[in-house]
């Protein structure tokens, strides 16, 4: 399915928001959580958290867009790019104005990517993430990973309204072909019973 052009660059600047503790999406009302379960056709876990099936579907994608790299090079998005590409993923950074970051070409819109991707990793504050989700859905993307700090009730609602079952409250580096420190982190979460079921 070919990505549909969208006239507005995504990821425009917005006020920052502090990261949230991993777990259930903050501020998600019981009615919204029930609505999300209906949209997701029972694929979510019983407690409303991300299901392992959703995680597996995302990390099985060989190519993905990444919204949240910074020119400064000191953000999690930059580290995620380096780590995911080292694991063999084709990662395409999307940035509203940068042509390249750390020598890696950036794209303004999903429609500009050299290939269609069906997954996007979102590493921006929730105020920006809501628009990113809408743009991703318009481009035909079906898998969304909301890195910690990108999720909110409004962002999750945007996903559910688009028929997207997002991964939220989880660190992608714990699941994407895990190795090193993140493999140990994932093992600890398994022991503590915090991994998706």
Predicted pLDDT of residue 5: 40
Predicted pLDDT of residue 74: 84
What backbone phi and psi angles, to 5 degrees, belong to 161? -65, -25
DSSP-derived 3-state class of residue 157: helix
- Ordered by start, the domain boundaries in the chain are 51-191
d(CA 120, CA 92): 9
Predicted pLDDT of residue 19: 38
127: tokens are 């105020």
What is Dmax (Cα atoms) for the chain?
46
Q: Which CATH code of 3.40.50.1360, 3.90.1150.10, 3.40.50.720, 3.40.50.300 fits the domain covering 51-191?
A: 3.40.50.720
What backbone phi and psi angles, to 5 degrees, belong to 66? -130, 120
d(CA 143, CA 9): 20
pLDDT tens for each residue of the chain, 197 residues long: 444 443 344 443 333 333 333 333 344 444 334 433 433 332 333 344 689 999 999 999 999 999 999 999 889 999 999 999 999 999 999 999 999 999 999 999 999 999 999 999 999 999 999 999 999 999 999 999 999 999 999 999 999 999 999 999 899 999 987 554 444 444 454 555 555 55
Q: Is the CB of residue 124 less than 8 Å from the CB of residue 150?
A: yes
Q: Is the CB of residue 87 less than 8 Å from the CB of residue 177?
A: yes
Q: Is the CB of residue 81 less than 8 Å from the CB of residue 91?
A: yes
Q: Are strands 104-105 and 100-101 parallel, antiparallel or unpaired?
A: antiparallel
Predicted pLDDT of residue 196: 56
DSSP-derived 3-state class of residue 124: coil
Predicted pLDDT of residue 194: 52
Category of 113 on φ-ψ map: left (φ > 0), alpha (ψ -120 to 50) or beta: beta
Predicted pLDDT of residue 46: 36
């Amino acid at each position: 399915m070919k990505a549909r052009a969208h006239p507005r660059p995504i990821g425009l600047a917005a006020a920052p928001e502090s990261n949230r503790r991993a777990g259930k999406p903050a501020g998600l009302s019981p009615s919204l959580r029930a609505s999300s379960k209906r949209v997701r056709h029972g694929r979510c876990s019983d407690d409303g958290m991300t299901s392992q099936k959703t995680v597996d579907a995302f990390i099985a994608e060989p190519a993905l867009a990444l919204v949240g790299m910074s020119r400064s090079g000191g953000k999690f998005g930059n580290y995620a790019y380096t780590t995911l590409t080292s694991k063999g993923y084709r990662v395409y950074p999307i940035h509203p104005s940068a042509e390249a970051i750390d020598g890696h070409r950036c794209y303004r819109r999903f429609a500009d990517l050299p290939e269609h991707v069906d997954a996007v990793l979102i590493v921006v504050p929730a105020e920006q993430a809501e628009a990113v989700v809408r743009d991703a859905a318009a481009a035909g993307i079906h898998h969304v990973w909301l890195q910690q700090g990108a999720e909110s009730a409004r962002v999750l609602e945007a996903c559910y309204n688009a028929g997207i079952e997002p991964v939220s409250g989880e660190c992608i580096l714990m699941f994407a072909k895990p190795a090193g420190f993140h493999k140990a982190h994932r093992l600890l979460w398994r022991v503590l019973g915090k991994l998706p079921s």
